[in-house]
Structures are given as C-alpha cells and as structure tokens.
C-alpha cells in the first residue's frame, strides 16, 4: 500500500515519496524483514536531508541504525550513530529510540557506563513521549544490564 502510494506521487513530490520509503522501512524493521537492500532507505535519507526535512531524515537514520544492529553490523551502526544529530527539539519518542539503540551498541562494545547513561537518557525521553511500551522496553533493557553476566 505504501509502495503504491509512493509511486503515485509525481516527480515534483520527491519528499512525499521519500517519506513513504521511510514508512516502508519502519514496517519492514518491525516485521524483522531486514534482508532487503538498504539502498532505497539511504536514497530517501539523502532526499529528506537535501530538502530540509531533518526530522524524517533523522528518523530514517535511526531505522538504519536499528537495522545495522539487528544484522550485527556494529561498525556500520557506530558510523550511523555518529552521523545522527538529534537535538532537544527532536520528537521525544525518536530520542528515546535512538538512545535505546545507542545503549545496545555500547553494550555490544562492553562500554557499560555509556550504555547505562544512554538508557537513562532514553528513559527521560520516553517519559516525555508518554509511550508505555517504549518505557517498558527501556526498563527491560535496564534490568538485563543490571543482571550478573556469570555466576
């Protein structure tokens, strides 16, 4: 449905088409359909950046970051995280999701203090967003991080 909607936008509506690509990528990520090439998402990200749609460009970066983490591509995830520029004006849910991904990246690099700090920032942003499921996911990550690794 989104792909069809994206194709219906005219040549002048490149931003709308790019937003459809980002929405498709988000659905694919949620469904764990991550085998497709990320090229369309990268093109959409570049289009959104070029047209000043910073919020959706950053959203696409967070999706790319999460995809890289799911695939175990930690260097790629680190590069994407470094490119991500989220200020306090960013939507709180996006900030929380980005910080949750940053925490996962830090855990995989065994940087526990950084992971803890990222989870603290994620929780604060999730509380501002008021999304219970996101808060629960962050609490779960905090509990996992607090558990002993070995006995």
36 with 97, same domain: the answer is no
Residue 67 three-state SS: helix
Q: What is the mean pLDDT of residues 20-34?
A: 87
Consecutive H or E run containing 12: none
Domain count across the chain: 2
31 with 102, same domain: the answer is no
54 with 74, same domain: the answer is yes
Tens of pLDDT, residue by residue over 106-115, are: 999 999 999 9
Its pTM stands at 0.84
Identify the domain containing residue 143 by its residue range: 90-151
pLDDT tops 90 at residue 3: no
Residue 15 three-state SS: helix
Tens of pLDDT, residue by residue over 81-95, are: 999 989 888 999 999
CA distance 2 to 9: 11
Among residues 85, 104, 131, the one where a domain terminates is: 85
DSSP per position, 66-101: HHHHHTT-HHHHHHHHHH----TTS-HHHHHHHHHH
């Amino acid at each position: 449905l989104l792909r069809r909607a994206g194709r219906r936008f005219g040549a002048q509506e490149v931003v709308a088409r790019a937003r459809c690509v980002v929405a498709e990528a988000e659905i694919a990520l949620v469904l764990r359909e991550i085998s497709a090439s990320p090229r369309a998402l990268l093109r959409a990200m570049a289009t959104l950046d070029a047209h000043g749609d910073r919020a959706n460009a950053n959203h696409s970066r967070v999706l790319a970051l999460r995809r890289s983490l799911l695939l175990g591509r930690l260097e790629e995830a680190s590069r994407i995280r470094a490119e991500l520029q989220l200020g306090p004006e960013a939507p709180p849910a996006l900030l929380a999701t980005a910080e949750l991904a940053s925490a996962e990246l830090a855990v995989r690099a065994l940087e526990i203090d950084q992971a803890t700090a990222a989870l603290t920032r994620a929780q604060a942003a999730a509380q501002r967003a008021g999304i219970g499921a996101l808060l629960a996911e962050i609490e779960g990550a905090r509990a996992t991080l607090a558990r002993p690794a070995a006995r």
